[in-house]
């Protein structure tokens, strides 16, 4: 009996070739178990610097370090067999110069086994993106609302309204010229996202943009409903895991206090082997 060939991981070239085809499904992941859950249905899994806020309780992404991205990148890599893994470049690791950016991108790739890196910025990062791509590292760009620049942008506001649309358009053209294989459009008006998607030849991946983008990405903890207070407009909740977890924890606490857990079926006798 012949055996089926092992499943091949998607590459940046595969993602690039999906322009105008079936929409790309993308989610974040920061741990091995979550990566395993996402792998079968996602084309791209992003180890986002949002890990700082989601898992480490930081107020923004600015405090995320290279060491954190390596740690979580390694964990996610262990859980993927199909999806392309992209790892975010943390704040301060690529802005100084193209050479600095390449050194840190190469470090991330070597330490995590990522298939690509992602960095924020448009026209002002064109030279850096080109420098990295020319040296063999695929780059996913990120324009519109760029969280690492939140202080300069004056908060987490929609970008590209009115006359500002020309800036975002030029950002999209710049990263395309530089050789990025795809670009995230975050929190830009839908009409502008559609214009960009039609006007560049690399896939656009929307988050708070438009259903007309070539793909969509969300922070997995947001779409699973693991947070009560944080409910951005662009997130649809596909689960309510925070409520489920709270109910489970409350029930567990009640049973422990009532000594109804562990029950006889959860403990071992003298005779039976001590296995799981």
Active site residue: 170, 186, 255, 265, which one? 186
Positive or negative CA dihedral for 180, 137, 73, 68?
Answer: negative
Q: What percent of the chain has pLDDT over 90?
A: 88
Q: Is 118 annotated as a binding residue?
A: yes
Task: Answer yes or no: is pLDDT of 2 > 60.
Answer: no
Q: Is residue 22 part of a domain?
A: yes
Q: What is the mean pLDDT of the chain?
A: 94
Largest CA distance in the chain: 78
Q: Is residue 59 part of a domain?
A: yes
Q: Is residue 259 part of a domain?
A: no
Q: Is residue 80 part of a domain?
A: yes
Task: Answer yes or no: is pLDDT of 228 > 80.
Answer: no
pTM for this predicted structure: 0.93
Q: Is residue 128 part of a domain?
A: yes
Which pLDDT score is estimated for 151? 87
Cβ(176)–Cβ(199) below 8 Å: no
CB atoms within 10 A of CB 276: 2
- Between 8 and 209, the higher pLDDT residue: 209
Q: Is residue 50 part of a domain?
A: yes
Is 186 a known active-site residue?
A: yes
3-state helix, strand, coil in the chain (%, to 5): 40, 15, 45
Q: Is 88 annotated as a binding residue?
A: yes
Q: Is 210 annotated as a binding residue?
A: no
Integer Cα distance of 229 and 233 in angstroms: 12
Q: Is residue 266 part of a domain?
A: no
Average pLDDT over residues 81-92: 98
Question: Three-state secondary structure along 188-208?
Answer: CCHHHHHHHHHHCCCCEEEEC
What is the pLDDT confidence band of residue 227, given thresholds at 50, 70 and 90?
confident
Integer Cα distance of 104 and 92 in angstroms: 10
User: 105 lies in which domain range?
Assistant: 12-239
Which CATH number belongs to the domain containing residue 28 in this structure? Answer: 3.20.20.60
Task: Kindly report, residue by residue over 26-55, the tens digit of the pLDDT.
Answer: 999 999 999 999 999 999 999 999 999 999
What is the pLDDT confidence band of residue 271, given thresholds at 50, 70 and 90?
confident
Question: Would you give the end-to-end CA distance of the chain in angstroms?
Answer: 35
Q: Is residue 1 part of a domain?
A: no
Number of domains in the chain: 1
Task: Kindly report, residue by residue over 193-202, the tens digit of the pLDDT.
Answer: 999 999 999 9
Q: Is 271 annotated as a binding residue?
A: no
């Amino acid at each position: 009996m012949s055996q089926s060939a092992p499943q091949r991981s998607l590459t940046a070239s595969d993602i690039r070739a999906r322009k105008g085809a079936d929409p790309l499904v993308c989610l974040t992941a920061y741990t091995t178990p979550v990566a395993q859950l996402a792998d079968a249905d996602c084309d791209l899994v992003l180890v986002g610097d949002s890990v700082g806020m989601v898992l480490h309780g930081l107020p923004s992404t600015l405090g995320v370090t290279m060491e954190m991205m390596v740690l979580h990148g390694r964990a996610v890599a262990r859980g993927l067999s199909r999806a392309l893994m992209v790892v975010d470049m943390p704040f301060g690791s690529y802005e100084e110069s193209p050479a600095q950016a390449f050194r840190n991108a190469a470090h991330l790739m070597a330490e995590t086994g990522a298939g690509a890196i992602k960095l924020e910025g448009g026209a002002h990062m064109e030279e850096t993106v080109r420098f990295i791509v020319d040296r063999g590292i695929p780059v996913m760009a990120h324009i519109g609302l760029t969280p690492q620049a939140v202080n300069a942008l004056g908060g987490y506001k929609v970008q590209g309204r009115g006359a500002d649309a020309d800036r975002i358009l030029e950002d999209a053209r710049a990263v395309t010229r530089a050789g990025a294989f795809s670009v995230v459009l975050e929190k830009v008006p839908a009409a502008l996202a559609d214009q960009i998607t039609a006007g560049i030849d690399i896939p656009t991946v929307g988050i708070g943009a438009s259903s007309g983008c070539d793909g969509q990405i969300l922070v997995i903890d947001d779409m699973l409903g693991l947070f009560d207070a944080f409910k951005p407009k662009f997130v649809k909740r596909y689960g309510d895991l925070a409520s489920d977890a709270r109910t489970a924890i409350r029930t567990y606490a009640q049973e422990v206090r009532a000594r109804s857990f562990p029950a006889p079926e959860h403990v071992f006798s003298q005779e039976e082997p001590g296995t799981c």
